[in-house]
Amino acid sequence: MVTASTEWLDKMRSVGDPVVDGLVAEHVATHGAESLDRLLGELFRTQRLPEANPLVKRYLAALPVADSVDPDAMIQGQNLFGLFGPEVLMVLGSYSLPLAYAAGHGVQVVYRSRRLKDDPIRRLCDTAQMVMNVMLPGELEEGGLGWIATRKVRLIHALVRRRVQLDAGNPWRSDWGLPINQEDQAGTLLTFSIATLHGLRRMGAPVTSAEADAYIRAWSAIGRLLGVDPSLLPSSEEEATQLALRIGMRQVRPTPEGRQLTAQLLSSVQTLFPIPGYAASLTHFFLQDTVFGKDVAEAVAMPKANWTRWLVMARVAQKRTLLHWLDWVPGARRRRSWVARYFAQRMILHKRPDADTPFEVPLAFRKLWGLHANR
C-alpha cells in the first residue's frame, strides 16, 4: 500500500538506486567518466545487455535473480495491452511524454541527456520499445525481452544519473534533488500506468475497474524490477490516482527546458501524422484534465490547436462508438484502431538516425494489431 507523505516524497528526492549507484561510482573511480559514455552508447544501440562489460557483469550479479511478480496481474495487464496496444503507443507520444516534460525538476535530467534532447522521436521509440517488451506475455521471466529491458533501463538510469552529476560544464542544482530520483521514477512509471488508463478511457476504451487495478499492479511489478522503492508502487487504480495527483501538485511547473522538449516532441510526432497540426490537437485533447492535475498544458506551453481539434473530436467520437460495440459488431474489433494503428505503423517505418536499432514490434503484436514489419 502506498503511504507517500510529503515528508517521505521529499526524502525520496535524495535517493536514486543505492546498490547500482555504488557500483557505477566505483567503476568511474577506476575507469574514468568516459567509460560511462562508451557503455551508454552500447546500451542505446541494442536491446541486449553487453554482458562482457565488467560493470555489467557486476551489476547483474548484484541484483536479485528474481523479483516477486504477481502472475495473474501480469497476465491481465498484458492482455489489456494486447487489446489496446496501438492506442497505448499513441498515448505515450501524445500524453505520457508531455506529462514527463511538465515535471519541472525531473525534466532537467532529460534536457541534459543530449541524445534525448536532440532526438525526441528516438526517445518515443525507445520508450515504446520498452513498454512493448515488458508487456509481451512470458518475457518478464529471467532472460526474456521484458526482463532484459528492465535490467537495461535500470542500468541506464544509474549511468545517466552519475554522468549528469559529473558534468562540470552544466552543473546540477541541489534543489532539483538527485537526478532520476525515486519520486521522479515513480512519477514516470505512473505516466505508463494510470495516465495510460486515463488516456484509453478518454478515447472510450471499456476498461473495467478490475482490469485497471491489474494494469496498475503489473506496472508496479515492473517498477520493482526497475528499482523503484516499494513505498511508491500502488496496488490499485485508486492508489495510483492519488499518488499521481500528489506528485503533480508538487512537481508540475513551467520551465524553459520542459517547453523546449515539448515543442521538439510535437514537431517530431507531427511527422507521424499526415495532417499539419493534428499532433498538437491530439495532445491538447489528452492534457485537458490529466491525472497529474489541470495545469499541464500551460506548464509545457502547448501551442493553440488549429482546426484539426474538430477532426480529433470526430475521430474520438467514432472510436468511442466502435469501442462500445467492440464485442458485438462483426469487424468492429478489426476497425477499432485505424488512427492508432496508422501511428504505430509510421513508428515502425520511421528511419531512425543510427538505423542499427530499429523500432521493432514483436511478431505476436504485429499479427494481433494488423501491422507490417519494417521495410
pLDDT per residue over 309-367, tens digit each? 888 887 777 666 666 655 554 444 444 455 566 666 666 665 444 445 567 888 888 88
Q: How is residue 230 written as a grid cell? A: 516499494
Structural domain span for residue 338: 6-353
Task: Say how far apart CA 218 and CA 237 lie, in whole Å.
Answer: 11
For residue 358, being part of any structural domain is answered with no
Whether the pTM exceeds 0.85: the reply is yes
Task: Say how far apart CA 342 and CA 348 lie, in whole Å.
Answer: 10
**252 φ/ψ angles, rounded to the nearest 5 degrees:** -70, 120
Distances in Å between the Cα of 121 and the Cα atoms of 73, 262, 347, 350 are: 31, 11, 9, 9
For residue 364, being part of any structural domain is answered with no
**Tens of pLDDT along 6-22?**
999 999 999 999 989 99
For residue 301, being part of any structural domain is answered with yes
Q: Is the dihedral of CA 15, 19, 23, 24 positive or negative?
A: negative
For a pLDDT cut of 70, what percent of the chain falls above it? 85
pLDDT at 306 over 50: yes
For residue 222, being part of any structural domain is answered with yes
Give how many domains the chain has, as a whole number: 1
What average pLDDT does this structure show over 254-269?
A: 92
- Alpha helix segments (H runs only) across 136-289: 145-165, 182-192, 194-202, 209-226, 237-251, 256-270, 278-287
What average pLDDT does this structure show over 219-234?
A: 95
For residue 375, being part of any structural domain is answered with no
Q: How is residue 274 written as a grid cell? A: 499526415
For residue 368, being part of any structural domain is answered with no
**Tens of pLDDT along 120-152?**
777 788 888 899 999 999 898 888 999 999 999
> What angle, 0 to 180 degrees and rounded to 10, lies between the N-to-C axes of helices 18-31 and 145-165?
60
pLDDT at 72 over 60: yes
- If one compares 370 and 43, the residue with the highest pLDDT of the two is 43
What letter does residue 306 receive in the DSSP assignment? -
Q: What is the pLDDT of residue 48?
A: 84
**Tens of pLDDT along 167-181?**
888 899 999 999 999
Burial class (CB in 10 A: 0-12, 13-18, 19+), 256: exposed
Q: How is residue 97 written as a grid cell? A: 511524454
Residue 308: which H helix or E strand, with range?
helix 308-324
For residue 371, being part of any structural domain is answered with no
Name the pLDDT band for 1 (thresholds 50, 70, 90): low
